[in-house]
């Protein structure tokens, strides 16, 4: 699906652009986003859920959001899941249609909720009773009736890394079904004047390959909806099953086709609704990683190569946990090739080190590559999701630029940070000599 290939110079090419030339022109580290691949991933969801089942697909902004990304998502007909005032503001500035923006978060501030009301977002995904009451008050003050969905914890555990499991009962997200708290918040919401409850939400985890996890979640959620209907007479017009579809990082990962995911989930919802005597709700999903992840590649320049005979060869690159904290945070694994020697056979096992002052800053342990030398360009794949969006300035490393590539054209969509940017918000008090620098 991507537009990656090896060109006649033996260089990795993405979107018709020679990545070695990209590295020369824009510098490294460099995030490269393959426009066609990103759009293709959006279209797979569009066809599978929207066209076929009249569903709603919310692209999870937390995986990768910039103004240009907002434009592409809007053009592809998807909606947007945002989780902060900052993401909301970005969507607004990109002129994303606000009725297609859904606002998530387990601890939204009053100011964030006010902004969401002012922008008139499509839905506010309420997480807890404190937020429900606050939103009801703020909506009343603003003279509007906010459309909301409630986030529930269905107790479904998806098989994935511990830190990214959010469906179990012991979770900071949502209200637990089993202990009655979910029923309680629904009753509260139904009794309030300034909110209108349209449906229910759950998210069972991320980087999931077991489609059964979703049908299991559907069973729990529809079973609960039937109970709610019996007790209150209300039934959800829409059910949101969150995101989570896994992508390929290494050969251990076996992604499932989006169409299969859609068919399994939507048909399960339809059957369950019918068997419980409920109207069939509209199905919403919130894919993030499976749209942005595979469309991104990061280019680095190899610097020091340090061999510890009989132990390990460390190949250091000019980025690392600052631009991709995932290996350090989750022990995530990635694949890479030498972009300038893409046709060469691997010759040795090396480990890729980042440049942060931290032993844990290792991008890839034990990877087979043609013996890397200083100046080689390393291309790490599947870095589109949770890389730029989780990047940081540890060690005062400026964040990389991002280019959008397509049909041989490369456009900057995020400028490289400068040293000037790094001190922009620093202030020196008078007693230390004063003033801005």
- Catalogue the active-site residues: 357
The nearest distance, CB 138 to ligand LLP, in angstroms, is: 22
Q: Is 435 annotated as a binding residue?
A: no
Axis-axis angle for helices 110-119, 129-142 (nearest 10): 50
Greatest alpha-carbon span in the chain: 74
Q: Is 281 annotated as a binding residue?
A: no
The H-assigned helical ranges of 106-211 are 110-119, 129-142, 181-191
- Closer CB to ligand LLP, residue 285 or residue 369? 285
* Six-digit token string for 359: 């032993």
Indicate if the alpha-carbon torsion angle 34, 25, 249, 74 is positive or negative.
negative
Write the Ramachandran bin of 96: left for phi over 0, alpha for psi from -120 to 50, otherwise beta: beta
The nearest distance, CB 388 to ligand LLP, in angstroms, is: 12
Q: Is 289 annotated as a binding residue?
A: yes
Q: Is 417 annotated as a binding residue?
A: no
CA distance 135 to 141: 10
The nearest distance, CB 104 to ligand LLP, in angstroms, is: 5
- Closer CB to ligand LLP, residue 364 or residue 410? 364
- Closer CB to ligand LLP, residue 160 or residue 215? 160
CA distances from 306 to 309, 333, 364, 375, 388 (A): 9, 21, 15, 14, 28
The nearest distance, CB 208 to ligand LLP, in angstroms, is: 7
Write the Ramachandran bin of 374: left for phi over 0, alpha for psi from -120 to 50, otherwise beta: beta
| Beta bridge partner(s), residue 409 | 406
* Six-digit token string for 65: 């959001």
Q: Is 288 annotated as a binding residue?
A: yes
Q: Is 287 annotated as a binding residue?
A: yes
- Closer CB to ligand LLP, residue 392 or residue 409? 392
The nearest distance, CB 48 to ligand LLP, in angstroms, is: 14
Q: Which residues bind ligand LLP (CB under 6 A)?
A: 60, 63, 81, 104, 164, 166, 203, 206, 242-245, 286-290, 326, 330, 385-386
Name the residue whose CB lies closest to ligand LLP. 243
- Closer CB to ligand LLP, residue 215 or residue 387? 387
Binding residues for pyridoxal 5'-phosphate are 244, 286-289, 386
Residues placed in the known binding site: 244, 286-289, 326, 330, 358, 386
Binding residues for substrate: 289, 326, 330, 358, 386
């Amino acid at each position: 699906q991507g537009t990656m290939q090896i060109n006649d110079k033996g260089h990795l090419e993405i979107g018709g652009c020679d990545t070695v030339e990209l590295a020369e022109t824009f510098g490294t580290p460099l995030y490269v986003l393959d426009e066609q691949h990103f759009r293709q991933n959006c279209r797979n969801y569009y066809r599978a859920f929207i066209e076929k089942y009249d569903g709603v697909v919310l692209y999870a902004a937390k995986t990768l959001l910039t103004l240009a990304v907002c434009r592409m998502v809007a053009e592809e007909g998807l909606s947007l899941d945002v989780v902060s005032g900052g993401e909301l503001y970005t969507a607004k500035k990109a002129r994303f249609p606000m009725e297609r923006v859904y606002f998530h978060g387990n601890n939204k501030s009053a100011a964030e909720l006010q902004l969401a009301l002012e922008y008139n977002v499509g839905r506010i995904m309420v997480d807890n009773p404190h937020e429900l009451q606050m939103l009801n008050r703020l909506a009343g003050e603003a003279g509007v009736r906010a459309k909301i969905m409630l986030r529930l914890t269905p107790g479904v555990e998806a098989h994935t890394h511990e830190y990214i499991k959010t469906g179990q009962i012991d979770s900071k997200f949502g209200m637990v079904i089993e202990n009655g708290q979910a029923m309680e918040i629904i009753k509260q919401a139904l009794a309030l004047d300034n909110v209108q409850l349209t449906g229910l939400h759950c998210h069972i985890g991320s980087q999931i390959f077991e489609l059964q996890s979703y049908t299991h979640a559907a069973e729990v959620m529809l079973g609960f909806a039937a109970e709610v209907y019996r007790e209150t007479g209300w039934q959800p017009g829409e059910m949101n099953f969150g995101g989570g579809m896994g992508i390929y990082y290494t050969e251990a990962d076996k992604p499932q086709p989006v169409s299969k995911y859609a068919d399994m989930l939507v048909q399960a919802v339809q059957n369950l609704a019918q068997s419980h005597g409920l109207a069939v709700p509209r199905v919403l999903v919130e894919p993030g990683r499976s749209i942005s992840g595979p469309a991104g590649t990061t280019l680095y320049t190899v610097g020091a190569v340090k061999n510890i005979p009989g132990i390990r060869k460390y190949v250091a690159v000019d980025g690392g946990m600052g631009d991709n904290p995932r290996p350090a945070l989750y022990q995530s694994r990635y694949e890479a090739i030498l972009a300038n020697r893409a046709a060469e056979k691997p010759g040795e096992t090396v480990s890729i080190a980042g440049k942060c002052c931290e032993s844990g800053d290792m991008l890839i342990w034990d990877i087979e590559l043609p013996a890397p030398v200083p100046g080689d360009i390393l291309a790490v794949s599947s870095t589109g999701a949770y890389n730029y969006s989780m990047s940081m300035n540890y060690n005062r490393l400026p964040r990389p630029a991002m280019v959008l590539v397509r049909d041989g054209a490369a456009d900057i969509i995020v400028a490289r940070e400068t040293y000037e940017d790094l001190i922009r918000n620093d202030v020196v008090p008078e007693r230390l000599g004063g003033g801005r620098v």
